[in-house]
Chain A
């Protein structure tokens, strides 16, 4: 099962018959395995990593550090949920160290994002402080180098 996950994590588009050959199982078994992993939410989703900038979009990404006052019973979870429910919020992590939540937000413009932080995030009960950092350039995303200039330089045929 681990190997199936490792393969799909790198490339979710490998057809089932090929997965079956690689993992030496039947296609039916592979389909069942995938179904189970999806049902158990071990596979969360199949995403495509898009370079939107190259496509022509000007999006703004901000990393926001948020400090919270933890609440009785639920700690940080209830506030985290209020935050991650927003579509603008791409990622939310609970962190150790100088702040509590690390939130990544995507918006159309600087103003857009700043506005969202000011009116939606800072105003949430329990949020005591926010610090916004705007992203300037992505070099590597989720293990993928954005502008990778490495290429196959091998001879076509060699002994």
Chain B
């Protein structure tokens, strides 16, 4: 009996993640240097871990309120007030979720009807399209261009707008490109969203990882708070990926709708992670800043390294990725990544894993030590030289 044709249409229409293959190859090797990891190489700062252990000792093992512990929501509200002068009512406008991944799913499901179109600038994180399809929506990919350093403009979005367009889904600082949007770029998008009366879902999980400047929060732009579902979390800034803890901020209607789904599908985020997140907001900032300073050093090193190798890349200003162009090698990004891992044991991710417009690029994560980045660059240089000698 073949069960696969009994699967739902929506699940069948989702392609599996393009990363799996590289994972399997790398897993068989001993001395792989991985630039393929989408998470910090730091472990969670001790003060955060310790507070969770203490919480367990005191018996913090129960469910919490669906929306999350009141103390945590208060800290989140406090944080956004201080940082962006943005006010959210911690009782009605904040929802604590199991990472931004859950928050993204909830946000899309809360606002998308079957057939509604979601504008998604590409390259982008792998879940945006999939979540849209699972919600019955239609993802409309809009390619961002390297000439604009992968920032998206209203001019690029405009041709894709139809009467069915309902949502604009953005993620800056961007995974996989490392692109950020300056305030004036975002203001143009805000104007675009208002003109077409779009809901904006803004995934700002990498917001704290912005270099040479400050992160601009989309909801903090004039008139954007109400129409924006702001998603953020602790994974990247506080090195807490495995805790699975994030949150969504928006108007009470959107958050209420998301909470309805959340209460039936998830009930609440794990209390252990919530206890840790409270500590992260109360005392974690200095550790976060130290980590960000270290990413910044590595960013400069790897940017300089690729420049010296003649691999064209714009200077990434956010997240911990660089997205060099590999077309000069004559290889596709898939083949480049596959040959590189087989020949030199360096793992990275082909740009096409993040959408068609990622073609000709590879994503390199610099969330790894300076020594390993240097060694990886040496190996890539060796690989490029060997490629030349074959021609």
Binding site for B on A (CB under 8 A): 3, 7, 11, 14-15, 18, 21-24, 150, 152, 154-159
Contact = CB atoms under 8 A, between A and B. Distances in A.
Nearest to B302: A21
Given A14-B370, A18-B370, A150-B43, A157 B19 contact: yes
Contacts of A14: 370
B301 A159 contact: no
A33 B38 CA distance: 35
A15 B305 CA distance: 14
A15 B374 CA distance: 10
Contacts of A159: 17, 19, 38, 125-127, 175, 349, 353
Contacts of B300: 21-24
Nearest to B20: A157
Interface of B: 17, 19, 22-23, 26-27, 32, 34, 36-39, 41, 43, 125-127, 175, 293, 297-298, 300-301, 304-305, 347, 349, 353, 370, 374
Given A155-B23, A157-B349, 12 more contacts: A3-B293, A18-B374, A22-B298, A150-B43, A155-B37, A156-B23, A156-B27, A156-B32, A156-B37, A158-B19, A158-B38, A159-B17
A14 B369 CA distance: 11
B244 to A, nearest CB: 14
A113 to B, nearest CB: 33
Given A21-B300, A22-B301, A159-B126, A154 B39 contact: yes
For the complex of A and B, 9 pairs with smallest distance between CB atoms: A21-B304, A157-B36, A156-B26, A157-B23, A22-B297, A158-B38, A159-B126, A156-B34, A21-B301
A92 B302 CA distance: 42
Given A7-B297, A18-B374, A21-B301, A158 B26 contact: no
Contacts of B175: 159
A157 B26 contact: yes
A14 B27 CA distance: 29
A33 B37 CA distance: 35
Contacts of B297: 3, 7, 22
A36 B353 CA distance: 48
Contacts of A156: 22-23, 26-27, 32, 34, 36-37, 347
Contacts of A23: 300
Contacts of B298: 22
A152 B33 CA distance: 12
20 contacts: A18-B301, A18-B374, A22-B297, A22-B298, A22-B370, A152-B41, A155-B23, A156-B26, A156-B27, A156-B36, A157-B19, A157-B347, A158-B37, A159-B17, A159-B38, A159-B125, A159-B127, A159-B175, A159-B349, A159-B353
Given A159-B17, A159-B125, A154 B37 contact: yes
B291 to A, nearest CB: 13
B31 to A, nearest CB: 12
A157 B301 contact: no
Contacts of B23: 155-157
A158 B370 contact: no
A21 B304 CA distance: 6
Contacts of B41: 152, 154
Contacts of B43: 150
Given A154-B41, A158-B36, A21 B305 contact: yes
B22 A157 contact: yes
A74 B304 CA distance: 53
A14 B294 CA distance: 14
Contacts of A152: 41
A158 B347 contact: no
A23 B253 CA distance: 48
A15 B22 CA distance: 31
Nearest to B176: A159
A15 B304 CA distance: 14
A139 B32 CA distance: 31
Q: Which of B26, B41, B127, B301 has the most CB of A within 10 A?
A: B301
